[in-house]
C-alpha cells in the first residue's frame, strides 16, 4: 500500500531536502525515521526539492509499505524519531499510481521580506531584512508581469539542468502586514532558484538598482539581466496541488502564521 504525508520543517540547519552523500538533509532524516519504525529501508518520493536554508509548511512525500497502521500511529511514530525542526502533520492512504512529484499540477511558494530600519531580531532565520524603504506600488506593478506562460531563462540558476525553461505562473501577489512583505507565487513548476531570483530582481527594481522591467528581463532570456538571488532563509514552500486529493490537507496560509 502507499501512503502520502504532509510535512513542515525549518530548513536552517539542513543542506536542503534531497539526500546527499556528505551532508544532512530532510529526506535523510525522514527515511531514517521510517526505517526505525518499520525495520525496512524505505525511499520516499517528494513534491519539491528545496535548497539549503529553505523552509516548508506543506511539503508532501509518499512511500510504500506492507505495514498497515492507523494514521495517528504513523504520525506519532515518524515524529518521535525526527528532530524538533521537522514534523509530519497529516498522513493518508493514496492510490498506488500516486507520485508526490509527478502527480502535482501546481506548486506554491511564499517569500518573506522584513522592510524596516530595525533588525528583525526574532525572525533572523525566516526573512530577508531590507532596511531601504521599498516602493510597494512599483513591486506590485512589476510582479504582474510574471503572470502567464513565459521563458524563464533569465530567472534560473546557472547550474539549472532543466530542459524546458518555459513555465506558467497562474497566481502571484503581494501582502503587507506591518513591516512584513509576503510575496506569494504559484506555478505549474519552477526552475532552480527561480523564485529567489524573481524576488531578488523585484527588490532591485524597487530600490531603483535595475532600470529594466520584468517584461524586458523575461524577453532577454539571459540570467545576466536579472537581479541577485535572494537569500534562501526567506523562502517557504507552501506545497503542491493535486487533482484527486483533498487540498485542505495540503494548503497553508503563511500570512495567517505571521498574524498568529
Tell me which residues are annotated as active site: 51
Counting Cβ atoms within 10 Å, is residue 253 exposed (0-12), middle (13-18) or buried (19+)?
middle
Tell me how far apart the alpha carbons of residues 162 and 149 are, in angstroms, rounded to a whole number. Answer: 16
Tell me how far apart the alpha carbons of residues 207 and 204 are, in angstroms, rounded to a whole number. Answer: 5
Among candidates 236, 10, 3, which has minimal Cα distance to 107? Answer: 236
Residue keyed to cell 502520502: 4
CA distances from 106 to 31, 36, 129, 249 (A): 25, 33, 29, 15
The set of residues, in sequence order, having a beta carbon less than 8 Å from that of 217 and lying 6+ positions away, is: 154, 155, 201, 225, 226
Amino acid at each position: 500500500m502507499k501512503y502520502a504525508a504532509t510535512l513542515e520543517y525549518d530548513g536552517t540547519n539542513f543542506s536542503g531536502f534531497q539526500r546527499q552523500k556528505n551532508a544532512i538533509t530532510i529526506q535523510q532524516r525522514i527515511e531514517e525515521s521510517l526505517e526505525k519504525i518499520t525495520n525496512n529501508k524505505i525511499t520516499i518520493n517528494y513534491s519539491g526539492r528545496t535548497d539549503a536554508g529553505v523552509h516548508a509548511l506543506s511539503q508532501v512525500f509518499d512511500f510504500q509499505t506492507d505495514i498497515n497502521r492507523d494514521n495517528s500511529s504513523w504520525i506519532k511514530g515518524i515524529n518521535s524519531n525526527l528532530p524538533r525542526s521537522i514534523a509530519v502533520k497529516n498522513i493518508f492512504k493514496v492510490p498506488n499510481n500516486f507520485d508526490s512529484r509527478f502527480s502535482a499540477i501546481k506548486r506554491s511558494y511564499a517569500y518573506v521580506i522584513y522592510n524596516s530600519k530595525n533588525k528583525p531580531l526574532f525572525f533572523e532565520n525566516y526573512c530577508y531584512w531590507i532596511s531601504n524603504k521599498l516602493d510597494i506600488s512599483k513591486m506590485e506593478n512589476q510582479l504582474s508581469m510574471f503572470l502567464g506562460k513565459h521563458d524563464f531563462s533569465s530567472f534560473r540558476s546557472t547550474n539549472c539542468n532543466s530542459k524546458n525553461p518555459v513555465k506558467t505562473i497562474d497566481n502571484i501577489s503581494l501582502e503587507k502586514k506591518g513591516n512584513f512583505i509576503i510575496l506569494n507565487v504559484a506555478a505549474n513548476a519552477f526552475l532552480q532558484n527561480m523564485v529567489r531570483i524573481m524576488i531578488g530582481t523585484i527588490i532591485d527594481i524597487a530600490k531603483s538598482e535595475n532600470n529594466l522591467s520584468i517584461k524586458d528581463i523575461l524577453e532577454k532570456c539571459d540570467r545576466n539581466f536579472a537581479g541577485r538571488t535572494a537569500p534562501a532563509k526567506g523562502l517557504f514552500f507552501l506545497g503542491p496541488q493535486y487533482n484527486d486529493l483533498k487540498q485542505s490537507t495540503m494548503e497553508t496560509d503563511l500570512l495567517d502564521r505571521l498574524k498568529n
